[in-house]
Amino acid sequence: MSTTIQAHPETGDGPAPVTGRLASLARVLVDRRRIAMLLVGLIAVAAALVGASVESKLSSGGYTPDSAESIKADRLLAGQFHAGAPNLVLVVRADGDVGDGEAAAAGRELTGKVAATPGVVYAQSYWSAQDPTLRSADGRTALVLVKLGGDESQSYHLARDLVPTLVGRHGPLDVKATGSAQVNSEADEQSALDLKKAEVLAAPLTLIILLATFGSLVAASLPALVGVVSVVGTYAVLRVLTEATSVSVFALNITTALGFGLAVDYSLFIVTRYREELDAGRTVTEAVAASLRSAGRTVLFSALTVVLSLSALLVFPIYFLRSLAYAGIVVVVIAAASSVLVLPPLLALIGHRIDRFDVFAPVRRRLPGSRTGNGLWHRLAHTVMRRPVLIGGGVALLLAALVLPFTQARFALMDDRVLPRGSASQVASDTVRAEFHGAQTSPVVVVAPALDPARSQAELTDYAQRLSAIPHTQRVDSAVGTFAAGNLAAPAGPASAAFAAGGGSWLSVVSDVDPGSSAGEAYARAVRALPAPADVLVGGDAATQVDTKAMLSGRLPWAGAIIAVSMLVLLFLFSGSVVIPLKQLILNMLSLTASFGAMVYVFQDGHLKWLVGDFVHTGQLEVTVPILMFCVAFGLSMDYSVFLLSRIREEYLATGDNTRAVAFGMERTGRLITAAALIVATVLGALATSELSILKLLGAGLALAVLIDATLVRGLLVPAAMRLLGEANWWAPAPLRRLHARFGLTED
């Protein structure tokens, strides 16, 4: 036997008594409001002091797991052979030929200076190695290849200190720097500048939206104040996290925007409910208690959905995503706690003055339906529900069309082109790509720690010959000589000794393909597939990209399962229905994939660039951003679903009329969800003003996902689906109904 939720029509004339734990908490905070506000102030000051130094403690990189074969190869190269693919490249330009006397002397001096720097594994240049591939065709530019020791974070910090002493004029030479370590350093500096710009842009726009929503300057200022408290807490949390784990430099931009946006959103709903309760005739204390019992409960539940969605990032063993998960989870908790704990004493202090300085009050009184409950959103809901197939089907087809570009998505790891066009590192990298062959600065490396060339010269020679015969191979440098096209191109010389140490050897395999392209990935796989005479590890940029994408694709189903199962369970506990959770999951997936398709169209294919500002178009998307974007946007989408469903369910329990409940829920939350979505889209969209394409992509994608969800999905698809399903919306099998009756989430 199956059942639906039983409606319980309300009786009585006055406001019902307010009960429940949250209501009791509200009364305590109201009764002790002065002490509560003093504690909030002291905590905020302490958090500000703790978080003041957070920027200097953040780390760069973190896109590849430590267990990856390419990372193990890099460690072996650095530890056993004092070698490895360079992570800092100096592009040196001379007034004349780089081989002339004065320029050559300055080049050797520069190379020696870099090599003598503590933390530098090696520095190899055209002048020290006499390698013609490190000299441009016109003879005026040469490269210095530098390997900085340590992991990504350590090499980034070393580059940040070393590079300023190297770039610029050195006698007849002009020096620019690039390479992964320098790109990370410049990205860090740019993200700090972008954060300040985003804050300056988002704060006034948020206040304007709040003022337009509430009309009252007093009411509008409360969510903004709670948002500031949340941001201060965010800085402190990130600073504490840096003591326990590496935290990405981008965490500050992303979590600050997320924390501020959610804190404002949560406060927006509580303040709105408080005004409704005052209008219903409650006292200030009882209005605060009723607001916290209803809207506060929904805020906590919504925060839980966002937390669970972000927790899916923890399945990926890279600290870029994991640090964002740790920080994001705590920041969401701070946003919800700030709303639930800070607002009640503030509301009690303000009391009935919540509507002071309401410049839009006369206008709202004249708006049709402003007091009757038959406003814009009520009429929209009925319009949609009169033609659910036509309107709902049309919107679904539109979203499905937006999904199509995502089927052609191509992914790669971040490189110098994430930086703004014309930045120092990006210009230097363009020079390398134009005047040298990029793969020469990022070869595929093959490490054979137990293949001693002194004992296994024939095996090593045969292996190097076969490697050089792989299509697209330009040359293979090894301890037994240099090979090309399956033949010995140059016998072993003094430089070949660097390829052997500790009873093992390594080979540098240079190709003519871009290591960040699909061809580069295919080439790295071909090298790994070639039978070797001993155990080998294959590394380099192309191999690193292969390892990262393999790890992400392997863990992605687990992340999706965590999100799907947790959302289905939570929405069941919230609604008592098995239909509503499934419907919301499908609608969320449709809206998110539509935003992904739009991002491919803009950022991968390069269309409509004027909407987001200029960036270097590579024809690929950064591989980790869609995963991060999905987890954040899915949580936000469920967040708005909960706010809408809470009011629909509330009315359905009171009347038993599904159609009326949908219209009521739309009317009560439509304006607020729209305002909340505009605020979150504004705060996250401010990231799109960043000069870094990775933040631009994330900000624009999240803003679009939120707006699609709040308009097309919540405004059109949800009422259409609710009308088509009718009473079936609230269906659940009898055993699950009994389970919900015992463990379900209720007002009390």
In DSSP notation, 458-521 reads HHHHHHHHHHHTSTTEEEEEETTEEEETTEEEE---GGGGGGEETTEEEEEEEESS-TTSHHHH
Q: What is the mean pLDDT of residues 698-717?
A: 90
d(C-alpha 635, C-alpha 559), whole Å: 13
**Nearest one of 226, 213, 255, 222 to 238, comparing CA atoms:** 255
Contact in structure between 625 and 700 (CB atoms under 8 Å): no
**b/e map of 624-650 (b: 16 or more CB within 10 Å)?**
bbbbbbbbbbbbbbbbbbbbbbbbbbb
CB atoms within 10 A of CB 525: 13
Work out the pLDDT band at 573, boundaries 50, 70, 90.
confident
d(CA 130, CA 124): 9
Over 80: is that where the pLDDT of 273 sits?
yes
Q: Take residue 123 and report the two structure tokens written for it.
A: 């520095």
* Residues 125-145 pLDDT 10s: 888 887 788 888 888 999 999
Provide the pLDDT for residue 366: 46
Q: Tell me the pLDDT tens digit for each residue of 728-748.
A: 988 989 888 888 888 776 544
pLDDT, one tens digit per residue, over 212-233 is 888 788 888 888 888 888 888 8
Asked if residue 13 has pLDDT above 60, the reply is no
Q: What is the pLDDT of residue 370?
A: 43
What would the two tokens of residue 117 be? Answer: 């720097």
Q: What residues contact residue 493 under an 8 Å CB cut-off, 6+ apart? A: none
pLDDT computed for residue 23 by the predictor? 67
Judged by DSSP in three states, 147 sits in: strand
Q: 456 pLDDT exceeds 50?
A: yes
Which uninterrupted H or E stretch holds 339?
A: helix 319-350
Query: For residue 451, what are the contacts with CB-CB under 8 A and spacing of at least 6?
Result: 459, 460, 504, 505, 533, 534, 536
DSSP 295: I
Q: 């990372």: which residue's tokens?
A: 71
How far apart (Å, rounded) are the C-alpha atoms in residues 190 and 687? 12
Cβ neighbors of 429 (< 8 A, separation 6 or more) are 178, 183, 415, 416, 417
Q: Under 8 Å CB-to-CB from 441, ≥6 apart: which residues?
A: 86, 89, 143, 145, 179, 432
Summarize pLDDT for 632-672 with one digit per residue, the tens.
988 888 877 877 888 888 888 888 888 899 998 888 888 88
Asked if the model's pLDDT at residue 1 lies above 50, the reply is: no
Joined together, the tokens standing for residue 235 give: 């800085």
Within its chain, how far is the Cα of 89 from the centroid? 28
Q: Are 88 and 183 a contacting pair, CB within 8 Å? A: no
Q: Give one DSSP letter per residue of 583-628, joined into a string.
A: HHHHHHHHHHHHHHHHHIIIIIT-TTGGGT------SSEETTHHHH
Strand partners, 175: 92, 168
Please answer whether residues 271 and 342 qualify as being in contact, where contact means their C-beta atoms are separated by less than 8 angstroms: no
Q: Which two three-digit tokens encode residue 550? A: 């393999």
Dist. CA 620–CA 280, nearest whole Å: 55
Does residue 606 contact residue 677 with C-beta atoms inside 8 Å?
Answer: no
In a 10 Å sphere around its CB, with 0-12 CB exposed, 13-18 middle and 19+ buried, how is residue 582 labelled?
A: middle
How far the first Cα of the chain sits from its last, in Å, is: 28
Contact partners, residue 331, CB within 8 Å, separation at least 6: 230, 233, 234, 237, 255, 258, 259, 262
CA–CA dist 163, 181 (Å, integer): 10
DSSP string, 631-689: HHHHHHHHHHHHHHHHHHHHHHHHH--HHHHHHHHHHHHHHHHHHHHHHHHHHHHGGGG
* Measured distance CA(482)–CA(461) in Å, rounded: 10
The pLDDT of residue 551 is above 50:
yes
| pTM exceeding the 0.75 threshold for the entire prediction | yes
Which pLDDT tens digit goes with each residue over 155-204?
Answer: 888 888 899 999 999 889 999 999 888 988 888 888 888 888 888 888 88
Q: Is 315 helix (H, G, I), strand (E, B) or coil?
A: helix
Q: Where are the alpha helices (DSSP H) in 351-456?
A: 361-366, 376-386, 388-403, 424-435
Q: Which of 207, 208, 187 is nearest to 252 (CA)?
A: 187
SS3 362: helix
How confident is the model at residue 748, as a pLDDT? 44
Q: What is the mean pLDDT of the chain?
A: 86
Give the separation between CA 284 and CA 352, rounded to whole angstroms.
7
220 in Cβ contact with 214 (< 8 Å): yes
Amino acid at 356: R
**Residue that is written with structure tokens 């694709």 in the block:** 553
* Contact yes or no for 213/673 (Cβ under 8 A): no
What would the mean pLDDT of 454-474 be, rounded to a whole number? 92
The residue to which tokens 């390829």 are assigned:
499
The 10s digit of each residue's pLDDT in 477-499 is 999 999 999 999 989 888 788 89
